[in-house]
Amino acid sequence: MTTRHVILGNGPAGVVAAEQIRKQRPHDSIVMVGAEPEPPYSRMAIPYLLIGKVGEKGTYLRKDPDHFKRQNILEVQARATRLDTKGKVVHLDNGQQLPYDKLLIATGARPISPPIPGVKLPGVYPCWTLENARQIIELAKPGSRVLQMGAGFIGCIIMEALALRGVKLTVVEMGNRMVPRMMTEGAGSMIRDWCIAKGVNVHCSTKVEAIEQGGKPAGLMGKIGAALGMGGVQSSDAPLLAKLSNGETLECDLIISATGVKPNLDFLEGSGLEVDQGLLVDDHMQTNVPDVFAAGDVAQVRDFSTGQKTVNMIQPAAADDARIAAQNMMGLGTETQGSLAMNVLDTLGLIAASFGQWWGSDTGQSVELVRKESFNYLRLEFEGDVLIGATSLGLTDHVGVLRGLIQGKIRLGEWKDILLEDPTRLMEAYLACAQSQSTWKLPSNSLQH
């Protein structure tokens, strides 16, 4: 008997799950639904699109236009509007109804607009979809005045692309440092100093309180450049004014809103599925309703470090969850080890990483190494003789080792005290302790997602 698999969402989680099922179940039916009018693509590739390193096709998850047809995976472009878990049917906005035996919800997340006047004006965009990338490319010309609201994970990742486009960049962040929800105070402050040294105008502990239309056109140089066809600022018909909580008013040609995202759960109202910050799943990626699974940015999964359920919105976690969900949709009983917080970001060339319980534990010990002049930073968090979390800046060699020690829950024994004295001896500690204890292998390129 064949099974009808329906997959809602065609981002990395949806695609990985669909392909995994097809590999092992050649005769099952697989329908993959995506709400955006684009082939399946990777949001991670958007910064590369912004700097022209890839064209739009370069962001597509699968380059062959017939890939899914060849795999006998039916693609439907529509938005799921309602889920009837009793009747096992998904309702779509094109009027179609999709019956399923096994359902995967992989609808990802969407940006949250801060509740400030003017946030919907033309010229204010998030950087989340391919459509947003087109809007940004249109307005972020050399010499354009760009204000970025928010300096979280996505905000930091796109700064490099904006800087390379030659814009005059200002970043306004509510927290007292950059990436406040992913990095320690020491690391976040150092990233701020790095950005300032690179010519970005950074305001921390500051809010944009209102946006209005009516600033003056961009500077003369930009206009002359545009007139000469040099790709300078071309249109400043509707420049914007951003009013900041520190009393300043900034004129901008583009405002990028990078103030956070939330899982796409609205269509699940009345479905009986348990939601919290995300869609709650067990270690099999199954929701509280049989035959309904979730993976990726939409799912709230057990955290590897804390055991609490958490949304971990990074692409490697989406792909890992999707593989596990797919196995269980086929009845193969695979479990997650828990989702490891693993944030690696490149802010204008400064590589920052935080892993596991980077904020530490009340009962643990920690050590912090700060080298301000060279923008090097390392903080290790221990519980007993096990490394439970870490934050690093500018120390790319250590990234794989940190992950290995944390994910392998390696007992460090006497090496813990050595590391408390000199945290840079991580590689030695790894070699001395990890090889014999862990089944987890150091990845060959630990910076790759």
Ligand X SMILES: Cc1cc2nc3c(=O)[nH]c(=O)nc-3n(C[C@H](O)[C@H](O)[C@H](O)COP(=O)(O)OP(=O)(O)OC[C@H]3O[C@@H](n4cnc5c(N)ncnc54)[C@H](O)[C@@H]3O)c2cc1C
Taking the C-alpha atoms of residue 31 and residue 76, their distance in angstroms, rounded to an integer, is 7
Segment contacting ligand X by CB under 6 A, of 9-17, 63-71, 94-102, 420-428 = 9-17
Amino acid residing at 92: L
The answer to whether residue 318 forms part of the interface with ligand X (CB under 6 A) is yes
Of residues 140 through 199, those in contact with ligand X by CB under 6 A are 154, 157-158
Sequence-ordered strand ranges (E) for 173-277: 201-203, 208-213, 240-244, 249-252, 254-257, 261-263
Nearer to ligand X by Cβ, of 242 and 325: the residue is: 325
Segment contacting ligand X by CB under 6 A, of 41-49, 233-241, 349-357, 423-431 = 41-49
> Angle at the Cα of 398 (from 395 to 399), degrees rounded to 5?
95
* DSSP-H helix ranges across 281-392: 315-329
The answer to whether residue 353 forms part of the interface with ligand X (CB under 6 A) is no
Contact, 254 vs 247, CB < 8 A? no
Neighbours of 269 (CB within 10 A): 10
DSSP letter at 60 equals B
Closest approach, Cβ 108 to ligand X, in A, equals: 2
Closest approach, Cβ 404 to ligand X, in A, equals: 18
28, 160, 173, 297: which one binds ligand X (CB under 6 A): 297
46, 172, 183, 200: which one binds ligand X (CB under 6 A): 46
Phi-psi region of 393 (alpha: psi -120 to 50; beta: other; left: phi over 0): beta
In which residue are the tokens 């066809």 written? 229
The answer to whether residue 10 forms part of the interface with ligand X (CB under 6 A) is yes
Neighbours of 197 (CB within 10 A): 11
DSSP letter at 85 equals T
Which pairing describes strands 208-213 and 201-203: parallel, antiparallel, or unpaired? unpaired
Taking the C-alpha atoms of residue 191 and residue 172, their distance in angstroms, rounded to an integer, is 14
Closest approach, Cβ 337 to ligand X, in A, equals: 18
Closest approach, Cβ 243 to ligand X, in A, equals: 26
The answer to whether residue 403 forms part of the interface with ligand X (CB under 6 A) is no
Closest approach, Cβ 221 to ligand X, in A, equals: 29
Segment contacting ligand X by CB under 6 A, of 3-11, 53-61, 185-193, 283-291 = 3-11
Taking the C-alpha atoms of residue 22 and residue 15, their distance in angstroms, rounded to an integer, is 11
Neighbours of 278 (CB within 10 A): 23
60, 100, 194, 267: which one binds ligand X (CB under 6 A): 267
Taking the C-alpha atoms of residue 332 and residue 303, their distance in angstroms, rounded to an integer, is 22
Nearer to ligand X by Cβ, of 148 and 236: the residue is: 148
98, 190, 292, 314: which one binds ligand X (CB under 6 A): 314
- Alpha-carbon Rg for the chain, nearest whole angstrom, is 23
Segment contacting ligand X by CB under 6 A, of 28-36, 112-120, 222-230, 429-437 = 28-36
6, 7, 9, 255: which one binds ligand X (CB under 6 A): 9
Taking the C-alpha atoms of residue 87 and residue 99, their distance in angstroms, rounded to an integer, is 8
4, 62, 79, 411: which one binds ligand X (CB under 6 A): 79
Of residues 102 through 121, those in contact with ligand X by CB under 6 A are 106-109
Closest approach, Cβ 368 to ligand X, in A, equals: 25
The answer to whether residue 415 forms part of the interface with ligand X (CB under 6 A) is no
DSSP letter at 424 equals G
Contact set with ligand X (CB under 6 A): 8-14, 33-36, 43-44, 46-47, 79-80, 106-109, 127-128, 154, 157-158, 264, 267, 296-297, 313-316, 318, 449
